[in-house]
Amino acid sequence: MTQKPDPADIPQEVFELYDAYCHGDLSRRAFFSGLSKYAVGGLTVTSLAACVMPDYGKQQTQPGADGLYEETLVYSSPNGAGEMEGYFVRPAGAEQTLPGIVVIHENRGLNPHIRDVTRRAAQAGYVAFAPDALYPLGGYPGTDDEGRAMQATRDRESMVQDFMAAADFLRGHAAVNGKVGCVGFCFGGAVANLMAVRQPWLSAAVPYYGGWPTAEEAADVKVPLQIHLAGLDDRVNGGWPAYKAALDENRAEYEAYIYPGVNHGFHNDTTPRYDAEAAELAWARTVEFFSLHLG
């Protein structure tokens, strides 16, 4: 019988291996090979891997949550793919139109965690819409490993355009009052940053630990930004000082928070990278920011 490690006892190097694997810098074989160094004291490579992989049974809100209306909607893709699909959630029984929020997934498709975040956005009083970039390929396949491999086959710019089209679609939906913001995580954070550059009509954008636009693109940011970064995330944080300087030079409206001692993906409560204190504070700030800019 193998011992399952307590997440608090996982060496930081294991999280870094997982981060490299998640973002395509390590193959699956190299990831498991790297874990073998830490399989000591009764731990096995399998148990270590299982501990850092997502457990979607931990999601905070379940499908069919009370007070929410949910459906799957199709919208037009600008990329020759014909159409896209997304998960649409709003407060049930709303008698007036509401602001909308596009929720942008990580680099593995519309998995159960991002659906959960979409429901949380609706519980906060918004019409939330989460597109699945994997829809043209058959949709999220059921596991993050497969989803990650599938998403890597799609052109990045085409996916950005599909998420931008989702914002346009949401702005025109009968349940939405015309005000739309976006929130994204990892790959989705990078997309949220780009949407703030390319869609100046957006009311707000909230990227979590995503990649950065260029300094030249920062000159085009007219959308209020709230940026969330993990203190231990050297890969993403390395680009922040240059982008911050460009935002400052162009007098962009933004606020940024760096949460010390937490890993990339700290908001995802289905993995041991989750940090409850940082995640709860970041989400409270996100909701307050949307309330300020979307009403």
Specify the higher pLDDT residue, 4 or 82: 82
Burial of 40 from C-beta contacts in 10 A (0-12 / 13-18 / 19+) = exposed
Specify the higher pLDDT residue, 240 or 9: 240
CA–CA separation, 285 vs 13, rounded Å? Answer: 30
Specify the higher pLDDT residue, 103 or 44: 103
Burial of 118 from C-beta contacts in 10 A (0-12 / 13-18 / 19+) = buried
Inform me whether the pLDDT recorded for 176 exceeds 80: yes
Interacting residues of 120 by C-beta distance below 8 A, sequence separation 6+ = 60, 61, 283
Average pLDDT over residues 258-262: 97
| Summary mean pLDDT of the chain | 92
Specify the higher pLDDT residue, 33 or 44: 33
CA–CA separation, 186 vs 190, rounded Å? Answer: 6
Average pLDDT over residues 38-62: 76
- In this predicted structure, what is the pLDDT of residue 6? 66
Q: Long-range contacts of range 61-66, CB-CB < 8 Å, 24 or more positions apart?
A: 61/116, 61/119, 61/120, 61/123, 63/115, 63/119, 65/119, 65/123
- In this predicted structure, what is the pLDDT of residue 42? 67
193-212 per-position pLDDT tens digit: 999 999 999 999 999 999 99
Please give the structure tokens belonging to residue 216.
């030249």
Inform me whether the pLDDT recorded for 28 exceeds 90: no
User: How would residue 93 be classed by pLDDT, with cut points 50, 70 and 90?
Assistant: confident
Phi/psi class of residue 243: alpha, beta or left (left: φ > 0; alpha: ψ in -120 to 50)?
alpha
CA–CA separation, 212 vs 271, rounded Å? Answer: 25
- In this predicted structure, what is the pLDDT of residue 82? 86
| Whether the Cβ atoms of residue 192 and residue 166 lie closer than 8 Å to each other | no
Among 27-31, 136-140, 200-204, 235-239, the least confident range: 27-31
Q: 57-294 is classed in which CATH architecture?
A: 3-Layer(aba) Sandwich (3.40)
Strand partners, 91: 68
**CA 39 remoteness from chain centre:** 30
High-pLDDT (> 90) share of the chain, %: 73
Inform me whether the pLDDT recorded for 47 exceeds 80: no
- In this predicted structure, what is the pLDDT of residue 17? 85
Distances (CA, A) of 180 to 114, 163, 169: 18, 13, 10
Inform me whether the pLDDT recorded for 89 exceeds 80: yes
User: How would residue 111 be classed by pLDDT, with cut points 50, 70 and 90?
Assistant: very high
| Whether the Cβ atoms of residue 166 and residue 129 lie closer than 8 Å to each other | yes
User: How would residue 2 be classed by pLDDT, with cut points 50, 70 and 90?
Assistant: very low
Inform me whether the pLDDT recorded for 122 exceeds 60: yes
Q: What is the DSSP string of 24-72?
A: TSS-HHHHHHHHGGG--TT--HHHHHHHHS--GGG-SS-TT-TTEEEEE
Write out the residue limits of the CATH 3.40.50.1820 domain(s) in the chain: 57-294
- In this predicted structure, what is the pLDDT of residue 1? 40
Inform me whether the pLDDT recorded for 24 exceeds 80: no
Least Cα distance to 71 among 118, 105, 109 occurs for: 118
